[in-house]
Amino acid sequence: MAIDVNSTINLSLVSVLLLDRSQHSLEIMAQIVKGFGAQEVHRCSTVSDAERILKRSTIDLIIADPALKDGDGFELLRNLRSSPSERNQHVPIILASGHSTPTRVAMARDIGANFFVVKPVSPKTLVERILWIERDKRAFVECDSGYCGPDRRFKFTGPPLGSEGRRRDDLNGDVGEASEPNMSQNEINNLIKPQRVVL
């Protein structure tokens, strides 16, 4: 099922901050979000430029490649999330990088990013992630461990509607209500109780 971007998303009232060391990548991403109707698009290739924009403007969405010209974008976004006085502390963050190693994905998760997508990012992928963020009902949490971001404890409900999943067990479409009664606590306890094994 194809997504009709024009009838699905309108970012005309959304302020977007784009972070990328490459001017070419910034221009491509700016054209994509402008195609979704965004009028206020800030482009930054350095940490210092991004900090200046974040201090003076209220941002509604950040799309960032964490490899910036003058520093670490991960550190910039970690500081943004962990600063209670920061007006943009709870802004949705989509990290986009050509380097999707498990370490970088874990770093994105640990700084409180909403999503990590692999470059090159297509308009379809970006709109799906933006719509998923909009529908996401997870609470924003701040933990003693230093994590600040969307609650990572959420039920997996499959890929966004209208997109194909990438995992073997992805569920497509609306799952609906349970067709069987829930398990009793005794049944749950028996299911997860350690079993004695004789070898």
What's the average model confidence in pLDDT over 50-56?
Answer: 95
* pLDDT at residue 80 greater than cutoff 70: yes
Residue 45 has pLDDT above 80, yes or no: yes
Lowest mean per-residue pLDDT among 36-40, 77-81, 103-107: 103-107
- Residue 138: what pLDDT? 79
Residue 159 falls inside a structural domain: no
pLDDT, tens digit (0-9, with 9 covering 90-100), for 120-179: 899 999 999 999 888 887 788 888 878 888 887 655 666 666 666 666 555 555 556 667
The model carries a pTM of 0.73
Distance, CA of 148 to chain centre: 13
Residue 5 pLDDT > 50, yes or no?
A: no
Kindly state whether residue 12 falls inside one of the protein's structural domains.
Answer: yes
The DSSP bridge pattern shows strands 93-97 and 115-118 to be parallel
Show the domain range for 146.
5-150
Tell me, yes or no, whether 183 lies in a domain. no
Residue 176 falls within a domain, yes or no?
Answer: no
| Residue 47 CA: distances (Å) to CA of 23, 79, 104, 166, 170 | 14, 11, 18, 33, 37
Q: Check which CATH number belongs to the domain holding 31 and give it.
A: 3.40.50.2300
On whether residue 143 sits in a domain, the answer given is yes
Residue 99's alpha-carbon distances to 67, 130, 160, 184, in angstroms, are: 10, 21, 23, 45
Average pLDDT of span 5-17: 80
Residue 33 lies in a domain: yes
Distance CA 72, CA 70 (A): 7
Residue 100 inside a domain? The answer is yes
CA–CA separation, 43 and 29 (whole Å): 9
Which tokens is 64 given?
């960032």
The answer to the question of residue 182 being in a domain is no
Residue 37 in this model has a pLDDT that exceeds 50: yes
Choice among 43-52, 106-115, 147-156, 162-171 with the minimum mean pLDDT: 162-171
pLDDT band of residue 199 (cuts 50, 70, 90) is very low
Counting the structural domains of the chain, the total is: 1
Asked if 17 and 44 count as a contact pair (C-beta separation under 8 A), the reply is yes
